[in-house]
Amino acid sequence: MSVELPILLSFQALSGDGGILITGQLSYSSLHDLSFKAFTRRRTFRTILALYRTRHFAQQSVSLIFDEATMVDATTDKSGAFSLVAKLPAAPTVLTGIRLPDGQWVRMAEGLYSLKVQAPPTHTIVVSDIDDTLLHSNISNRLLKLRTLMLTRMEHRKAIATMRKVICSFHDKGATTFYLSNSEQNLYPLIYRFLDHNAFPSGALFLKQMRRLRDVMRKIHASERDVHKLTWLGKLLELFPDRHFILLGDNTQNDLPIYLQTAERFPKQVQSIYIRKVIEKPVHEELIQSYSAKIPNTVIHYDSKFHPEDSGPDSKSDS
* Cα–Cα distance, 159 to 198 (Å, whole number): 7
Q: What is the CATH number of the domain that holds 198?
A: 3.40.50.1000
- The reply to whether 168 and 278 lie within a common domain is yes
- Per the domain annotation, does 142 fall within a domain? yes
- Per the domain annotation, does 16 fall within a domain? yes
pLDDT, position 317: 35
- Per the domain annotation, does 73 fall within a domain? yes
- Per the domain annotation, does 221 fall within a domain? yes
Residue 1 pLDDT > 50: no
- Per the domain annotation, does 319 fall within a domain? no
Mean pLDDT of all residues belonging to the chain: 91
Contacts of residue 197, Cβ cutoff 8 Å, sequence gap at least 6: 37, 154, 155
Q: Please give the model's pTM, rounded to 2 decimal places.
A: 0.92
- Per the domain annotation, does 229 fall within a domain? yes
| pLDDT band per the 50, 70, 90 thresholds, residue 138 | confident
Instruction: State the residue range of the domain holding 76.
Output: 7-108
- Integer Rg of the chain from CA: 20
- The reply to whether 73 and 190 lie within a common domain is no
- The reply to whether 148 and 282 lie within a common domain is yes
State the average pLDDT over residues 250-261.
95
- The reply to whether 129 and 272 lie within a common domain is yes
